[in-house]
Structure 1
Amino acid sequence: MKLMFLTDRIWGRSAYSKVLKSLSMRLTRDHEVSAVPMGNALKGIPFMSPLNIMGANVYGCGNDPFCEDVAYEYYDKLNADLLITIKEPWNFNTVPKLALNYVPMAIIDHTPLSPHLISRVDTAFKVIAVSRFGQRELKANKIDSTYIPHGLEPHYECLWDQKDECAKTWYLDPDAFKIGIVAMNRARKMIPRMFRAIRVFIDNNPDIKVQVMFWGSIQGTAMDYKPHGVGDTGASLIKEIVDLDLAETIQWSDEATIAEGIPERLPTMGWDMVTLYNSFDVLLHITGGEGFGLPLIEAQRCGVPVITTDYAAGPENVGIGLTVPYHDYVVVNSVGTRYALADIDATADALAKIANADKDKLARKGVRFTERYRWDNIMEKHMNPFL
């Protein structure tokens, strides 16, 4: 088949870049894969003059940040069988209306589904749900879908006897209780709420030495485009850290490194995502809602328990760790999607439980749980039958 993807750049570090890269490496064995990168990532390339990157033919983008101004022309010229988008469906305005085999990977991170999102998937040729939660929400709105989750590459692993070395690589104390946060600085991620929960945990457990590694932008930036009025703005976190008296507890990287990203795995011990996850004792991820939550399974594959909000797709991806309840929600975009506010005291209690748990036992369970998310398993059980 001829498969055309609209998503983030295949050479990038985002979750969607990772998904495209992993799919492309496997799909190109039996299919012809093309990709058009979003976010104006490859401008100036002549039309129909692709670059071959990781087995995929990557074409130049248009002026629209989601490539909707060139999507149909590429689809037609390539004689593509499917146009697969890996992005929140509400970002698209014209593609769902075109006469083509449009297949959205529906990233569903809220309930009830907003009418805006429904209108972007109810005209699709087929719909892929990346979570069981999303599949249920779509079914409730009479939209059929096929479950195909995101996955993990083999280089994600638990470095059993190198945990202390991993911590030292990231300037963390091996004897401290190390809380990791891996998230973009966006309103939906509720990072200030995570900091508040950490403050409560520290106050409740003064005998535990705590260190926090925040892997995300500390300054926060606004999106440089707001499709259909949807905004998800990040905030400067410095004042929150200072006001909560966490300046000596939380550490973060420079903005350039965060923007560029780091490799998933280096040949030797160094700054990569596998070493980062292995330096944690817990991943704190009490966001407002996850369409999948890739950091959750990446951390558990590295033997690290997780804490997430009991809302949207996050809970189904918790094999080791805890979910915390929410009692209220906020609406932070013009689409009107509801994002949960995780209970701060319950989060602090969850941190205390994990701080006193058997780390090795949790790690073994986490590795077993995430076996189902290995990309080769996902291709065999889900993607190949779908195609």
Structure 2
Amino acid sequence: MEIDYINGLKTDEIFGMSKYQSEINSRLGNIKLNRIEYPDISKTPGVNKIVEYFVYPFIVKKEVTKNNVKHVTRQDLAFLLELIDLKKTIVTCHDIIPIAYYHTQNPIWKLNAKGLRKAEKIITVSEFSKNDIIKHIRYPEDKIEIIPPAVNHNLYYQNRNKSILKKYGIKEDEKVILYVGAEEPRKNIQVLINSFDKLKSKISQIKLLKVGTPNYLGVREKLLKQIESLNLQKDVIFAGYVPESELAKIYNAVDLFVFPSLYEGFGIPPLEAMACGTPVITSNSSSLPEVVGDAAIIIDPYDANKFAEKMYEVLINDGLKEEIVRKGLRRSKMFSWEDSARKTLKVYKEFRP
């Protein structure tokens, strides 16, 4: 069986949506993917997006095969279904954040919404995202399949070792709070920094390590101003993008993972942290309670005082930490890429004649 795999930008970087696709793809067995992508021609922000909007539709139209299932792998490529007459279409929609959270009036996202409505099937990642799609896109519930992300347990497993932290100038005797993710308003990093500042008044030998790239105009600058105003320049470390093998080592090296996001379609990092034996504190918003279950401390994402209080409790209370770690290890094993691949294969087979 061959799938026209409409995947957007060709990149070797693995994070978020690309991680979801690559993990499932590697487990699809005899499925052949006709990858339809466009080249990474520039690191200048916005240039590749211009190619995506104005050139990629012509690439897709030229390279699709008439009788193949067409799998559009991201919700922000759904506009292609509005521009091209495609049959047997599946769209993987991780979330509709621009519509549901930011209330965008962007014309491209209006096209994406119309494209999503034209899909014959939507794959999404959580009950929360499914409900958002039904509510905001007005898409039929019975045509949505939930296939959640998971954890690669061959990579993310408990192997505690602090040596990787030397690379970031962190001393052996310092406690480390980790955040993994992009930088945009909904990620709520400003509250994390405020709560870290409050925590530092109780635990002086502590660092906040932030992994991930800035992806939203002006947010990094605001964060740096906030950090400077709190005199935390030496205590907040921006690691940028790191490859997965290094990320697994970082999860295993830190004392606590904090994920204060206001809105997530799913949220893979808390699961990866759990799989590495790191306790997790996260928000009680959007899909996150659905992801972590009872295996993490969940908090009102606007309450910096509560975040600071709970971070302190976990760091000084070994019994509490061990309980959260134990529950987290068990919870992470409930999410399997093999299971997600089987469900994806089942969706593909629904389109067989």
Task: Sort the TM-score into its range (normalised by shorter chain).
Answer: 0.7 to 0.9
Partner secondary structure for residue 52 of structure 2: coil
Listed as ranges, the matches of 1:119-130 within 5 Å are 119-130=114-125
Offset from partner CA, 1:79-137 (integer Å, 9 cap, x none)? 353222332x2554342454323312112265957694643422211011111211223
Specify the alignment match of 2:26 in structure 1: 25
Distance 1:37 1:15 in 2: 18
Corresponding residue to 2:52 among 36, 57, 64? 64
8 Å CA contact retained: 1:8, 1:16: no
Are 2:181 and 1:183 equivalent residues in the alignment?
A: yes
Listed as ranges, the matches of 1:44-123 within 5 Å are 63-64=51-52, 67-75=56-64, 78-79=65-66, 81-87=68-74, 89-90=75-76, 92-96=78-82, 98-100=84-86, 101-108=88-95, 116=110, 118-123=113-118
Give the residue type in structure 2 aligned to 1:143: P
Distance 1:308 1:63 in 2: 36
8 Å CA contact retained: 2:210, 2:236: yes
Partner secondary structure for residue 35 of structure 1: strand
Distance 2:229 2:117 in 1: 46
Specify the alignment match of 1:11 in structure 2: 12
Distance 2:296 2:81 in 1: 39
Specify the alignment match of 2:325 in structure 1: 363
Partner secondary structure for residue 284 of structure 1: strand
Specify the alignment match of 2:237 in structure 1: 251
Specify the alignment match of 2:106 in structure 1: none
Give the residue type in structure 2 aligned to 1:134: S
Distance 1:170 1:350 in 2: 25
Listed as ranges, the matches of 1:201-216 within 5 Å are 201-203=199-201, 206-207=202-203, 209-216=205-212
Distance 1:378 1:92 in 2: 22
Q: TM-score, normalised by structure 2?
A: 0.80
Give the residue type in structure 2 aligned to 1:108: D
Structure 1 pair 151–349 and aligned structure 2 pair: CA distance change class (3 A)? same
Specify the alignment match of 2:40 in structure 1: 41
Give the residue type in structure 1 aligned to 2:335: Y
Partner secondary structure for residue 151 of structure 1: coil
Specify the alignment match of 1:296 in structure 2: 270
Specify the alignment match of 2:152 in structure 1: 153
* Unpaired stretches in structure 2, ≥5 consecutive residues: 43-48, 104-108, 349-353
Specify the alignment match of 2:253 in structure 1: 279
Give the residue type in structure 1 aligned to 2:180: V
Corresponding residue to 2:161 among 163, 173, 181? 163
Partner secondary structure for residue 26 of structure 2: helix
Specify the alignment match of 2:351 in structure 1: none
Offset from partner CA, 1:40-87 (integer Å, 9 cap, x none)? 4279xxxxxxxxxxxxxxxxx993258333223222xx3353222332
Structure 1 pair 105–221 and aligned structure 2 pair: CA distance change class (3 A)? closer
Partner secondary structure for residue 64 of structure 1: helix
8 Å CA contact retained: 1:290, 1:313: yes
Normalized per residue, the structure richer in helix is 2
Specify the alignment match of 1:386 in structure 2: 347
Q: Return the offset for 1:262.
A: 3.2
Distance 1:200 1:34 in 2: 52
Partner secondary structure for residue 70 of structure 1: helix
Offset from partner CA, 1:183-208 (integer Å, 9 cap, x none)? 122233222222112112323xx246
Offset from partner CA, 1:213-242 (integer Å, 9 cap, x none)? 11134xx465xxxxxxxxx65332322211
Aligned-pair identity (%): 18
Offset from partner CA, 1:137-184 (integer Å, 9 cap, x none)? 334445221010112223333334x33334445543444331001112
Give the residue type in structure 1 aligned to 2:208: V
Cα RMSD, aligned residues only: 2.9
